[in-house]
Amino acid sequence: MPNSAITKRALASAMKSLMEKMPFSKISVGDICEHCQMNRKSFYYHFRDKYDLVNWIFYTEFVGAVHDKNYDDGWSLIEDICDYFYKNRHFYMNALEVTGQNCFHDYFQSLLQPIVSNYLWEMIDSSEDSEFFAVFFSDAFLCAIERWLLEKECMPPEKFVSLLKSSMSSVARKIVSDLEEEPHLKDQTDSKTLHKKTGLENL
């Protein structure tokens, strides 16, 4: 319903504005309602609590945008993810610092992990280990992006993605190098196959 969408966006705008100025833990439903001149009944009609509102903001603003695009490769997706979070870093720095039940961190991980993993999977040659490598790299990326956003001096997204790509490539090369030295693998798997299985050819 149009009116419902307008109300949700007004509450979301109020929450984002408040989170620019104060910690999430200090913001009450009353503060949100006062900021956008709505009553508490309207808030609870649309959201269970302030955690639900933050998750809705993330889903509608970011995930909705991602689903509308067709990415040629996983790195294009990662670049867009980093660009979005950098532009909204003050809001997400605040959101990611919240811990405990219903925290945004858990929602962030559960929603982004399969999206990133799916695109990274396409960068890795099909094999019985492809799913493992895709999940491994996506978990590493999500941890890296959280650390990046929580830094006081957050580097530009272009530099972060460049360093991320370089780091993942270096790690993958080290893994392949170590595997090639394993006696029980030397005769079973050639270097080209290892590069494909770890996705190194596409990093």
Asked if the model's pLDDT at residue 14 lies above 90, the reply is: yes
Q: Return d(Cα 199, Cα 176) in angstroms, integer.
A: 10
The CATH 1.10.10.60 domain(s) of the chain lie at 1-47
Asked if the model's pLDDT at residue 83 lies above 70, the reply is: yes
Alpha carbon distances (Å) from 186 to 137, 177, 199 = 24, 11, 19
pLDDT at residue 86, rounded to an integer: 92
* Structural class in CATH, domain 1-47: mainly alpha
What's the rounded mean pLDDT across residues 22-45? 95
Asked if the model's pLDDT at residue 64 lies above 90, the reply is: no
Q: Return d(Cα 131, Cα 65) in angstroms, integer.
A: 25
Q: Return d(Cα 20, Cα 41) in angstroms, integer.
A: 25
Q: Are 103 and 96 in contact (CB under 8 A)?
A: no
**Residues 141-167: pLDDT tens digits?**
888 888 999 887 889 999 999 998 888
CATH topology of domain 50-202: Tetracycline Repressor; domain 2 (1.10.357)
In the chain, count of helices (H) and strands (E)?
A: 12, 0
Asked if the model's pLDDT at residue 128 lies above 70, the reply is: no
pTM for the whole structure = 0.74
pLDDT at residue 2, rounded to an integer: 56
pLDDT at residue 198, rounded to an integer: 47
What's the rounded mean pLDDT across residues 175-195? 57
The CATH 1.10.357 domain(s) of the chain lie at 50-202
